[in-house]
Every structure is written in C-alpha cells, then in structure tokens.
Amino acid sequence: MTGHRDHPIEDLATVVVPDAQLIDVRQPDEVVDGMLDGAVNIPLGQLADRLDELDPDRRTVVVCRSGARSSTAARLLVGAGFGDVVNLAGGMLAYAQGVPR
C-alpha cells in the first residue's frame, strides 16, 4: 500500500482534476465562510463512518484549515484502500493568503 502525497494548495488546479472528489474535513462552523469550489464537507470526526459516500477508485483530494487534519484524513483514506489521495498542504489558511482567484 502506498501513502498519500502532499501538494501545495497554491497549485490545486493540477490535482483537482475533473473526476476528483474534493473533501473539506473542517467542522461545519469553519466552512460557513466558504469552501473550495466543488468541495464536500465531511468533518474529520465523521470521515471513517462516511467512507461509503466516496469512491476509492477516484482521486480524493482533502483540505482543512492548515493541512494537519487533512493529512490525518489522507492517512485514514489510504488505510481504507483509497489509491490516489492528495493532501492540500497549507490548507485554507494558505489559500486565503495568496491563491489567485
């Protein structure tokens, strides 16, 4: 089994391909100010119980506030048999500080 890979959020367009599933693992009160386009909110604490909502054969990209929870989520997904898992390093904090819109 291989691990996930970290990818800078500043370059998210290269990993969020058309067939990718983008998962925001922040808490609902954290996403009220916005999420990345196309993201689905599945808080980290619920992820293990909601794996059936995801397709393990598609690329799964995970994001959180800083990259720490999404790294944990990425390890959980790999352990559950997901083959192509990408953690957006730096999270939404990095995104807010300089990703061109």
Write out the two tokens for 28: 């609902």
Write out the two tokens for 100: 């061109």
Decide if 64 is catalytic.
yes
Strands 60-63 and 85-89: parallel
What is the identity of the amino acid at 14?
T
The residue annotated as part of the active site, out of 64, 77, 85, 89, is 64
| CA atoms of 8 and 22, how far apart (whole Å) | 15
Q: Is 10 exposed, middle or buried (0-12, 13-18, 19+ CB in 10 A)?
A: middle
Active site residues: 64
